[in-house]
Amino acid sequence: MPPTPLQTELWLIRHGESLANISGVIHGQDDSPLSPHGQVQVRLLAARLATCGATRLVASTLRRAQETAAALVATTGLTVEFEPRLREVSVGTWEGRTAGEIAAAEPAAWARWEARDPDLPLGGAETYRDAIARCTAALQDIAVRHRHERILVVGHGGVLRGYLAGVLGLDLRQMWRLALDNTSISRVRPFQQVMGGPDQLLGRVQLINDTAHLEDR
């Protein structure tokens, strides 16, 4: 009897802590590097995933994701493929400004953001709904190209959280209930059937926000 093929698995990894993460300002598609603590995080992540059995590595083109992926290349021996659609949401004119500055200058828009309106163009740029749609399309394409493989995907907290919410069938306003810490691992089987019938439902979340490699650090 032939072996059962491996379920296609996406291992979704949020990049290590960046300087922008600790700056106190809003950021989206800025090219912030990893912080010193983030560099420690990615080394621990890379050591943990060295023998995880992954066959592919795909990453966002933003610097913090590139640096995280480089650490994984060093331990897994995989070659990284860069996918621009995995970039974080663009926040336009809000980039590099504090919450207080934006709230004072644009109170109506900031109130919508505090309510986590997924259809708000952040800083006049991208909505979370649109950013999540492009990220989801990228992940679907990656999974289709590499069926029956385990794929490491390095991306960003906002869009990865939104993709997970979609697999779970959550309203996008609820996606912020999902914790995604820096260098966390979340695992999805995008083609696993979870419901039959005429409205066949595919996609199962196996794990969210695994940071076991950071324990006691």
What are the structural domains of the chain? 9-214 (3.40.50.1240)
* pLDDT at position 2: 47
Catalytic-residue membership of 146: no
Dihedral sign computed on CA atoms, order 59, 89, 158, 144 = negative
* pLDDT at position 206: 96
pLDDT lower than 50: segments of the chain: 1-2
Q: Which residue has the tokens 């004119």?
A: 93
Annotated catalytic residue, options 67, 88, 126, 149? 88
Tokens of 64: 């913090």
Annotated catalytic residue, options 15, 27, 156, 213? 15
Query: Strand (E) positions, the chain?
Result: 9-14, 56-59, 80-82, 150-155, 185-195, 201-210
User: What HEC string does 46-76 produce?
Assistant: HHHHCCCCCCEEEECCCHHHHHHHHHHHHHH
Q: Model pTM?
A: 0.94
d(CA 28, CA 127): 12
Sheet order of strands, 80-82 included: 80-82, 56-59, 150-155, 9-14, 185-195, 201-210
Catalytic-residue membership of 88: yes
The three-class DSSP label of residue 90 is: coil
Q: What pLDDT digit, counting tens, does each position of 69-81 carry?
A: 999 999 999 999 9
Q: How far apart are the first and last CA of the chain?
A: 46
121, 68 contact by CB (below 8 A) = no
* pLDDT at position 194: 84
Would residue 32 be called left, alpha or beta, if left means φ above 0 and alpha means ψ between -120 and 50 degrees? beta
* pLDDT at position 202: 86
